[in-house]
Each structure stands twice: as C-alpha cells, then as structure tokens.
Amino acid sequence: MGYEAVAGGEEAIKNAADLLRYFRTRGGSPPLTVRQLMDQQRLAVDRVMGEGSLYAPVIAALALKEAEGDAVEAAFIVRAYRATQPRRYYSLPVDSTRMQIIRRISGTFQDIPGGQILGPARDYTQRLVDFSLLEENENTVRNFLAGLGVQTSGQEELPASFPKVVDRLRADGLLAEAGETDRRLFDITRKSITFPCPRSARLQSLARGETGAMMALAYSSIRGYGDIHPFLAELRVGYIPLYIRHHGRTGPVYMGKIPVTEAEIIAQYAEGEKGTRPKLTLGYGLCFGHNEVKAIAMGILDRAMRSRSSRKAPAEDEEFVLYHIDGIESSGFVAHWKLPHYVTFQSTLDRLRKSQLIQEEAGHAGHKYG
C-alpha cells in the first residue's frame, strides 16, 4: 500500500483530541469514576479485560471511560498497555473444580452433583426497560442491599468445590478426550501462529477473541454451516485461585483469586478407530470475568475447529476463525481505511482511465473496419 505523508497537522490533531473530550464532558453531568464503572458496569469491564488479554480491572475501567464505552477501542488500549509491562512470572495450572462458585448450571442434566445454582443472571426475567432505574439513587440502593441482607441471612454456605458434570460421562465411558497429538504450550503473545497450530494456541486466541465475532461464528455452526449440535454440559462463573512459583520459595505462592467463566460443551458422536466405540466429544471455553456468551461460543468453536470434514465450514477452519475473531486486528484493519490512500486511489483512477481509453479505441477501430 502507498501512503502520503501529512505534515503540519499537529494543531489540527490536538484540536480533534480536545473536541473528543469536549463531546464526552459537555453534558454537565458529574464525571464517571473508575470505581463506578468497576461496580456498575462490571460486564463491560470483564469483556474489555478478556479481549484486552489482561486481568486489570482498574486499567480496563479507565480504558472504557477513555473510549466512551467502545469496548473494542477499550480493549485496544488495554492490550497496548499490556505490551509495556514486563512479564515476571507464569501462573501454575489451575483446577477449576476449586472455583468459588457464584453461578453453576447445566443444560444436559437436571440433577447434577452439588445442585444447580442460578446466581446472577437475566436468563429467567423479562428483558424490558426498567424505568425505576431513572429514580435510582444512593438511598434506594442502600435500602435494596439492606433488604437483600435480611433475605439471605441464615442461608447455608456453598461447598468449597463442585464435581464436574462431564466426569459422570467419563466414568461411563461415553466421552472422548481431545486426542491432540501436539501438546506444546504455545505462547501467542511471544510467537506468531502458524497453521495447523496446537490446541493451546487455539484456546489462547479464543480466550482473547472479540465476543461478537465468536458468537457469530458459533451461531453459524449451530445453524448448519458445520456439523456441531452442542449441549451445555456445565457453565460455571466464579473465582479461581492463582499460584506462581517464586525463586525465593520452595512451594507455590498464592497470588489471589480472579473471576472467570467456564463452559464445557458436549457435541455429537466421535467416530473412533475401527472396532472402537463411538463417544461424545467435548469443547472447552474459559475467559476472564463474567461473560457467558463468549465462554459458550469458545467451547463450540474449540470443538468445531477439530472437525475432520474434508469440506470445512468457516467455523471449522482454524485459520479462518483465529484470524477473524481478534477484535483488535479486525477493527484496526477496517479502521485503517480512514488513513490517507491518495496515492493508491490515484493509481486506481489512472488504470481505470487507461482501460476506458483502450476500450474506446478498440471500439472505434472495430467500427472503422466493420
């Protein structure tokens, strides 16, 4: 591509930035605080952290404020910030059965070990405009929280861990494992992906993919552009403990808990080797914070990309999926058309005019000798 350098535009660029801030603050309402965003826009903050590939609630909320609520732009800001930070440690593998549950449901079994926990969700209420929020203030919030405290007092505490629903299928010999031959732990932030790539690289890419893009591709697979008919074995939302190894300590060092959403998707039978029993297959999804649509879509795409079909649908083609779900890459390339393309467009016009001239000359020649 050819670009034309623009000089002398510093003042115009500064004025554009000032105007952007003016449009954000001109309404006269009190400025949003980062704490307000973290408390009351938690799902947006969680989405920015996931797509920005950095667990940093304060930075994500600050980026969301800076971007005026544009989640993709906020994720871009977070990922740019992430690139400036040193990496000192790697966390140890986590055991999600040790998750401190706030929500746990299954779409495949009604009765599951430990029971279903609905938790915070909009799935069971009508999606109507709540006009009472127009009158919400500190007093109404305080009264609500006080009343909720009375209702929940005396309730039994949840157990420290829950068994996995899919373990029941494994015990009955009904579930096939992923069967990946390439078990490398690939770091997509340090190396460029080449295809075919190991499952660890696919899962990392999915974990920081753009929620809407992943949902669209997963939806395409469900609707028939692919051969996945998923069932939700288990969806978990909660807090998992993180540990690292420190050179000054002999054992793992506890770093704290982070919220995550985990989904395990059961798909159709897996055709085994000749003489082996067919089994169900499993797709896996896990992302920062509370983002159920993304975790479920991730599980569907994880399974879809393992398809052995000779004619792959878009959601089954790992190169297609992984190159197009990254919101930062996608938005950057789409938005770059706003930059000057004067040289390339003039070249296109020159070729077009020349083609038209050649066509006209050929037409005149044909008419002359016809």
Same domain, 170 and 305: yes
Three-state DSSP class for residue 285:
strand
Looking at the chain, the whole-number percentage of residues with pLDDT higher than 90 is: 70
Q: Which secondary-structure segment (H or E) carries 246?
A: none
CA distances from 214 to 145, 209, 304 (A): 36, 7, 12
Asked if the structure places residue 128 within a domain, the reply is: no
Report CA torsion sign: 249, 252, 255, 256.
negative
Taking only the tens place, the pLDDT of each residue in 310-324 is 889 999 999 999 999
| Segment of 209-218, 263-272, 356-365 carrying the highest mean pLDDT | 209-218
Residues shown for the chain: 370
The answer to whether the predicted template modeling score (pTM) of the entire model surpasses 0.85 is yes
Average pLDDT of every residue of the chain: 90
What residues make up the domain containing 354?
A: 341-370
Is the pLDDT assigned to residue 370 strictly greater than 80? no
Same domain, 159 and 250: yes
Q: What does the pLDDT read at residue 2?
A: 43
Is the pLDDT assigned to residue 235 strictly greater than 50? yes
Same domain, 241 and 367: no
Same domain, 275 and 148: yes
β partners of residue 232? 265
User: Among 89-98, 221-230, 358-367, whose mean pLDDT is lowest?
Assistant: 358-367
Asked if the structure places residue 126 within a domain, the reply is: no
Strand arrangement, sheet containing 279-288? 100-105, 231-245, 252-270, 279-288
Same domain, 207 and 350: no
Taking only the tens place, the pLDDT of each residue in 327-364 is 999 999 999 999 889 999 999 999 999 999 999 988 87
Same domain, 363 and 313: no
For residue 5 the two structure tokens come to 């350098």
Same domain, 153 and 19: no
How many domains does the structure of the chain reveal? Answer: 3
Q: What does the pLDDT read at residue 157?
A: 72
